[in-house]
Chains A and B, each alone.
Chain A
Amino acid sequence: MQQVRAEHFDAAWKWWLPPNHSSFGEEIDLMYIWIFWITMVTFVVVEGVMVYFCFKYRRNPARKATYIAGSHKLEVAWTVIPAIILVALGVASTNTWAKIKNSSDPSYPQEFQTEVKIAAQQFAWNVTYPGTDRKFDTADDFMLPNILNVPVELKDGAGNVTSEENVRIMLSSKDVIHSLFIPVLRVKQDAVPGYIGNVWFDCDRATYAGPDGKHLTGDQTYSEDGKTLLDWEEAYEIACAELCGLGHSGMRMQLKVVPRAAWEAWVKVKSDEAKKRAEGG
């Protein structure tokens, strides 16, 4: 875990935000930077004027206060100018919002390379993988608590990813409301009982650093027995963001973003186990 943790806090600090590894996360962060500067300038100007007035117009018996009861022009100016800025901010963010959340919007991804189901409960995330046949509700589905592994194609040894692979999560809850929060991917969606929510993300950086501290590259195969993947320590953290009861702050899940070959080998092992269990039972 040390490596991801170090990255989280040292290298990639961007105005106090943690590093970002999703494509829409960049748009979100850009929005933040815009708002940050707009609000900072406003803050400094308003507080500056206030402090200046407090100093300049402090009580002075030699002077009489100026009787000013208002100014129509000023009222119009300080209504219209902020209105333009605020509406522009609003309009600028509608596309990003639709792309992330609105499945009927054209910018919403049409294809998902990986699909999983997550059913939240007090106080765990039950992740169901469709298995090698990529279909749910078949014998090779398998479920793991608190482990979300997703595949990517690697570009280089630094863990960068070649093509965007979209992951889709069908999110539900068995008992109370939970919320799936992946800080480094800028993902958050409530898991609501009685309702299946759709979440998607892509991730541009793998979590796996090999035994030598380097990431596997795309053309390296990772066959072995596939089980080794579970031992990979590096992971992104997923938190529960909606109060769900007394175990709320311990409802943690690991997200491992790993090379596709390795992931497929691992899925195969897990699917075979599941099939064996289904046949045996």
Chain B
Amino acid sequence: MSTTAAAPATAGHDAGHAHPELSFLRKWVFSTDHKVIGIQYLFSCIAMFLVGGLLALMVRWQVAYPAGAKPSEEKVQEWRDQGLSGAALNQAIAEFDEDKPFPILGELLWGEKLSKADINAGEVGEAGLFGNSNGMMPNEWYNVAFTMHASVMIFLVIIPILTGAFGNYVIPLQLGAKDMAFPFLNGLSYWTWFSALLVLVASFFVDPAGIGAGAGWTSYPPLSGVVSPSAGAGQTLWCIGVILGGTSSIMGSMNYITTIVNLRAPGLTLFRMPLTTWAAFITSILQLFATPVLSSAMAMLLFDRHMGTSFFLPEGLIFSEAPVPNAGGGQVILWQHIFWFYSHPAVYIMILPAMGIVSDVIAVWSRKPIFGYRPMVFSMSAIAGLGFVVWGHHMFQSGMNPVLGTTFMISTIMIALPSAVKVFNWLGTLWGGQITFSPPLLFALGFVSMFVIGGLSGIYMANAPFDIFIHDTYFIVAHIHYVLFTGSVMGIFAGIYHWYPKMFGRHMSDGLGKIHFWLTFSFMNGVFFPMHIIGLGGYPRRYASFRSYDFLQTYEGMNVFMTWCAIGLGLSQLFFLWNFLWSLVAGKKPTSDNPWHACSLEWSTQTPPPHGNWIGAVPTAYHGPYEYSHPNCKDEFAPQWMPMQRNDGGGGGASPTAPAVAASSAPPTAPH
């Protein structure tokens, strides 16, 4: 196939061209170097991962320990046995107080915790940052907590870390490009995203009542479409933040598509690209088509809220006994169609890049070519294509025409196929390999094994009749977390451990990485697996308290268990954080530019790569990216950037041991 233009002239990256020394600000802050931008995304996303995680813990705490626990019958009997009766017993019951504010933060945010006796005596505690509710999270803030947990994790962590951090850092290197096609647009994309981050964080603090955006990350109108106590100024900022995030995504995806189409190294045909880059390519196409729809939806919602339009507000809407003046002629369900037209593909935007990363990691660490490379590419394309025609499965119970429900059920069930094909191909890649259980591989295997659960639980919900029962229960919460946490986040960790030496010129600690993996793997199942079970019991999602329902009482113990697992999961990430930060300054330096003995082009350059990625000309790709353990190859692996050295002496070219890397037939050993 055609070779693309060699060493394309991007932003003056001609070989040997001397750059004037850039100021610190231009080099590290407002940079146009894809590697710097990728690392900016990486650090920002890890910081936001902590914020999103903290919000998750607040959500979990509220679910396990909502206010208003009543003394159990056994407790009352105990009091009776102690001789309490009449007024004394009633007083004991009235003063019973097991409310547990969120540790440390609860009292800072929602005021001092006083005992019931003190409150009854008329004492008033000190107010917190968000008012005074005796240290306990009010219901409306619970809505904010889960809304912002989802929004932060989706728009500020998973999408930007996969497309922004890995996309930016890895794609040009795997392509043999000196930078992105549009370096300035790339920087602009990051800073637009960063402004989305600031706006979304500000949404917590703008409303005088202390309420941020609380209509759920799906923000269904009319709840989100009318200014009300449930959706105040925070909701407005949320819409603006999502538009900004979307704008950044659109800029980024155009850039990736152009780069992949135009800037591939000589010899690097599309079907010689590593799957990480293929996944980024397909994801970018999804983003480019889907994101503008979300941005328009957000703009329409803003107009409904503040400019008197009624895209989503039907006639006769009454909020708190008062008619909504601009309501009339709108369609509530229209929002859901538009929103899910973006947000279902968004799920694939969040999983496909992780699939790409995991494919590369498994191939490298089991010393095998990807089993079924082309079927892998085609199945990703099928997932992306089908991803555009399944959005209605979020709306089975919405009142949408039930005939459409049948159609969406079939298309949704079909999307399980390419996902299954991918899993089988990963197993095929492990088959007959030389598997080294390094942290990247452990996380990749974690991804595969847990993605199976997330995929299979999807079949339950794709089945429209059974979805009637589990729709909007904890079952869907379990499903989405198996896909996005035990799936995408595992993939992200695999990628970080895998490319860290290339990014920072240091190794992360293997031991800490393994501890991080096993703790994360255990706790995440402790958090998310029981959610399937309470979902099957009919436990509705987004409930601030189970106390009003008899049928939910039984799940209290499981909720407490999940909450403590979530706390364990949160603490386990400290091992990662320490490992990540400490290794930046104290990690062992790699002895070679290709420490994992990998074949794709990013390992052909210096560690870390210089500005412009390669000193001199970009490499040439001679074959596919997964030539591990080839029977006719003299060496254990054949890097893409040099012709394969054949056993029979054919093939020509230099040995992979020279000049860039030191390869040997021994499998790579992970440093410690």
Contacts and interface: CB of A to CB of B under 8 A. Distances in A.
Interface in A191-218: 192-195, 197
A41 to B, nearest CB: 10
A31 B413 CA distance: 14
Given A97-B465, A190-B397, A246-B229, A65 B318 contact: no
Given A47-B449, A59-B667, A82-B420, A243 B459 contact: no
Contacts, number: 298
Contact of A18 (B223, B332, B456, B551): B551
Contacts of A86: 413-414, 416-417, 459
Given A70-B371, A175-B318, 17 more contacts: A9-B551, A16-B536, A24-B465, A50-B427, A70-B375, A71-B372, A79-B420, A86-B414, A93-B465, A98-B402, A101-B402, A193-B317, A195-B332, A237-B550, A242-B220, A246-B230, A248-B543
Interface in A32-67: 32, 35, 38-39, 42-43, 46-47, 49-50, 53-54, 57-61, 63-67
B452 interface: yes
Interface in A241-281: 241-250, 252
Interface string A74-98: 1100110011001101100110111
B403 interface: yes
B184 interface: no
Given A50-B430, A97-B405, A237 B551 contact: yes
B536 A177 contact: no
A125 B305 CA distance: 26
A183 interface: yes
A122 to B, nearest CB: 8
A33 to B, nearest CB: 10
B405 A188 contact: no
B316 interface: yes
Contact of B432 (A5, A66, A197): A66
5 contacts: A65-B432, A83-B417, A186-B469, A188-B468, A239-B549
Interface string B543-554: 111101111011
Interface string A3-37: 01100110000011110000010011001100100
Given A8-B551, A58-B435, A179-B472, A64 B629 contact: yes
A247 B139 contact: yes
A90 B409 contact: yes
A94 B404 CA distance: 11
Contacts of A8: 550-551, 554
A255 to B, nearest CB: 12
Interface string A162-193: 00000000000011110101010011111011
B456 A42 contact: yes
Contact of A250 (B367, B375, B465, B548): B548
Query: Do most interface residues of chain A lie in helix, strand or loop, or is the interface mixed?
Result: mixed
B423 interface: yes
B397 A179 contact: yes
A53 B431 contact: yes
Contacts of A89: 413, 459, 463
A115 B215 CA distance: 32
Contacts of B538: 18, 181, 183, 239
B453 interface: yes
Contacts of B469: 17, 28, 32, 183, 186, 188
Nearest to A38: B459
Interface residues of B, number: 104
Interface in A223-253: 237, 239-250, 252
Nearest to A187: B468
Contacts of A82: 416-417, 420
B143 A64 contact: no
A38 B549 CA distance: 33
Interface in B393-411: 397-399, 402-403, 405-406, 409-410
Interface string B533-545: 1001110101111
B319 interface: yes
A102 interface: yes
A193 B464 contact: no
A177 B225 CA distance: 11
Interface string B51-94: 00000000000000000000000000000000000000000000
Interface in B126-181: 138-140, 143
Given A67-B630, A176-B222, A248-B544, A9 B554 contact: yes
Contact of B399 (A50, A100, A195): A195
A250 to B, nearest CB: 5
A15 to B, nearest CB: 7
A132 interface: no
A202 B418 CA distance: 39
B187 interface: no
B587 interface: no
A70 B372 contact: yes
A69 B371 contact: yes
Contacts of B416: 82, 86
A79 B420 CA distance: 8
A250 B544 CA distance: 9
B84 to A, nearest CB: 24
B448 A50 contact: yes
Contacts of A24: 465
B671 interface: no
A5 B537 contact: no
B434 interface: yes
Residue picked from B143, B318, B413, most chain A C-beta under 10 Å: B413
Contacts of A5: 550-551, 553
A61 B406 contact: no
Interface string B197-228: 00000000000000000111000101100001
Contacts of A189: 397, 399
The interface centre, meaning the residue of A100, A176, A243, A250 with most chain B CB atoms within 10 A of its CB, is: A243
A121 interface: yes
A281 B138 CA distance: 41
A89 B459 CA distance: 9
Given A31-B465, A65-B433, A192 B229 contact: no
A32 B332 CA distance: 31
A15 B536 contact: yes
A258 to B, nearest CB: 19
Contact of A249 (B223, B315, B373, B546): B546
Contact of A57 (B319, B369, B430, B473): B430
A242 B666 CA distance: 58
B293 interface: no
B404 to A, nearest CB: 10
Contacts of A90: 409-410, 413, 463
A144 interface: no
Nearest to B66: A249
Interface in B358-411: 366-375, 397-399, 402-403, 405-406, 409-410
A225 B262 CA distance: 84
Nearest to B374: A70
A243 B542 contact: yes
Nearest to A82: B420
A58 B437 contact: yes
Contacts of B371: 68-71
Interface in B318-358: 318-320, 330-333
B195 interface: no
A54 B38 CA distance: 33
B413 A243 contact: no
Nearest to A33: B466
B421 interface: yes
Given A46-B452, A194-B314, A252 B548 contact: yes
Nearest to B220: A177
Nearest to A95: B465
B428 interface: yes
Contacts of B452: 42-43, 46-47
